[in-house]
Structure 1
Amino acid sequence: MVHETTRIETVTGDITQQDDLDAVVNAANAQLMPGGGVAGAIHRAAGEELVAACRPLAPISPGQAVVTPAFNMPNRWIIHCLGPRFGIDEPADTLLADCYRNALQLTAQYGIQSVGFPALSTGAFGYPFRDAARVAVQGVDDALETLGEPPRLVRFVFFSEADRHAFDDVLKTG
């Protein structure tokens, strides 16, 4: 995936420690409250103010994205996306692609120049990793083609090297 103005990269690391990014994406639950995985880590890092900021925005539906300040995190913004629960929320591929498209629409709306995504829906929501990676790549690609002001950097942040390598394989093959 190559875009004239946007660099796409992958890293292994902690999504809450991406201090060079304007925004990170939270793999949120419908109520936008602390949970396990990415949502729990982001809420712990951002602090108690995040719960209060999220409350009036909830609930959100699968595929929807909303934005809040990042509070105690090193970023300015958190974009919260509710990915589909695999085998429950259908059509899962469309809803997952909507997460990426809607998050990137918010980057344009808020002037966000760099954003980090986790592997949405692949944890507790059970989306098969390679299928989710394929949808993520296509969703980001589609969104970047339509945005008037796309971000300069889209980073995918993975907890494990194995996930990063699997995603890189999908990224290379399309």
Structure 2
Amino acid sequence: MTDVTIECIQGNIAHQPDMDAVVNAANAQLMPGGGVAGAIHAAAGPGLAEECRAKAPIKPGEAVITAAHDMPNSYIIHCLGPVYGVDNPSDQLLAGCYRNALKLAKQEELESVAFPAISTGVFGYPLEDALGIAVQTLREASPACPRLRRLRLVLFSDDDLRVCQAILDRT
């Protein structure tokens, strides 16, 4: 069992230079889009889309890993979260994103991973519910990753950060 710290910050997921990997809230084709996927692809450069072509498509709950290209991290882990109210069971699919990302982190012997709030943007997942699933799943799955030391949830706004911090404080 490892001693893993889970923290939350307000910031840009594409600018987490102190983390081994960042997680992309990807679309099924792993291509640039809006939100997190757009920011990560812009920061990583065109080589990321080229590498992703061979790994797509993915299904809700799945995760794949690529190099980070022009980003300072070693890897990008791409997760396809569920569209709330469409992909069911949404809670299990969302938990699968975090679990599968940690499996890839274990495989690569990573010490730190930064996550966005998967599925809470255009996919419509209610923030508090999504972050509750994220924190619970990360706490349950992280002990299986012996090298892992830090997990970070990177939130878009100060309000999102307050919600996340409240969840961490009460769990």
Calculate the TM-score normalised by the size of structure 1.
Answer: 0.95
Structure 1 segments unaligned to the other structure (5+ residues): none
- Taking the aligned partners of 2:36 and 2:3, their CA distance within structure 1 comes to 28
Once the two structures are TM-superposed, the CA of residue 74 in structure 1 deviates from its matched residue by 1.1
The answer on 1:84 being equivalent to 2:87 is no
1:144 matched residue in structure 2:
142
- Taking the aligned partners of 1:49 and 1:78, their CA distance within structure 2 comes to 12
Once the two structures are TM-superposed, the CA of residue 153 in structure 1 deviates from its matched residue by 0.5
Which one is further off, 161-170 or 22-31? 161-170
- Taking the aligned partners of 1:124 and 1:22, their CA distance within structure 2 comes to 27
SS in 1 for 2:54: helix
Once the two structures are TM-superposed, the CA of residue 37 in structure 1 deviates from its matched residue by 0.1
SS in 1 for 2:151: strand
1:29 matched residue in structure 2:
27
1:48 matched residue in structure 2:
46
1:160 matched residue in structure 2:
157
Once the two structures are TM-superposed, the CA of residue 150 in structure 1 deviates from its matched residue by 4.7
Calculate the TM-score normalised by the size of structure 2.
Answer: 0.97
2:130 matched residue in structure 1:
132
| Contact in 2 for aligned 1:104/1:150 (Cα 8 Å) | no
| Contact in 1 for aligned 2:32/2:38 (Cα 8 Å) | yes
Once the two structures are TM-superposed, the CA of residue 99 in structure 1 deviates from its matched residue by 0.3
Letter in 2 for 1:87: G
| Number of aligned positions between the proteins | 171
Once the two structures are TM-superposed, the CA of residue 173 in structure 1 deviates from its matched residue by 1.7
SS in 2 for 1:73: coil
Once the two structures are TM-superposed, the CA of residue 148 in structure 1 deviates from its matched residue by 4.4
Deviant stretches of 4+, over 4 Å: none
1:172 matched residue in structure 2:
169
The answer on 1:57 being equivalent to 2:55 is yes
- Taking the aligned partners of 1:148 and 1:60, their CA distance within structure 2 comes to 23
| Contact in 1 for aligned 2:114/2:153 (Cα 8 Å) | yes
1:9 matched residue in structure 2:
7
- Taking the aligned partners of 2:145 and 2:112, their CA distance within structure 1 comes to 15
- Taking the aligned partners of 1:118 and 1:85, their CA distance within structure 2 comes to 15
Letter in 1 for 2:14: T
Once the two structures are TM-superposed, the CA of residue 167 in structure 1 deviates from its matched residue by 0.9
